Structure 1
């Protein structure tokens, strides 16, 4: 019986360890401008806040305008204990819907990516 308890404890420990790794990915927690929001003027920057610290060298974002052309952005940087990716917006944005495609590498080595959009109101 002690062997069975040891095996059960080892299995439970391994399951919890693997489950913890699944939650270690950097997920987008919030953004400014917010997803599906409307802003009245060009944002000076995009602030993408994640659940984990990021590796700047392998993280970034691109912005595409309503005409499907890339928006000019500046060099990204990290803020807030390396959890917020700040992307300066260099171009003045015309009214319309903009798409942000982001990709990040968390400091624990996990890659994630995603997309969201916002609108510049006329």
Structure 2
């Protein structure tokens, strides 16, 4: 193997490594999992747990919970102390039966913004 060919392989490997690192550095916090899960039917909801792919900034992350297009009062929205990827949303009152929509706007710890929404149903 010639030195020029080996140098070309090493340069290509270095470039691919840099590109992979750059894509991770510019990633956004996407919703990875939620409880209650999207499109699920549950019987009792005390809190919503939104798990993101990256840590989120609690102060700049918003969640709006609606029932029949009317806002539902929320007593707190905070990140889990040991895991900034988990956002805990606590409704002010128990949720009556019906369909709920969750709309979120997250700001990840690297300041990138992302948005999304999902629905779930509470049964009697």
Using the size of structure 2 for normalisation, the TM-score is: 0.81
Q: Which runs of 5+ in 2 are unaligned?
A: none
Whole-angstrom CA distance in 2 between matches of 1:48 and 1:75: 13
1:27 aligns with 2:30: yes
Aligned to 1:72: 73
- List per-residue Cα deviations over 1:15-48 (Å, max 9, x = no partner): 33443345x211111111111111123x111111
**1:55-97 C-alpha deviation (Å, 9 max, x unpaired):** 111112111102x100000121111421111111113323221
Helix, strand or coil: the match of 1:75?
strand
Whole-Å separation in 1 of the counterparts to 2:57 and 2:89: 14
Structure with greater Cα Rg: 2
Matched residue count: 119
Q: Distance in 2 between matches of 1:13 and 1:111?
A: 25
Partner of 1:61: 63
RMSD: 2.2
More strand by share: 2
Unaligned ranges ≥5, structure 1: none
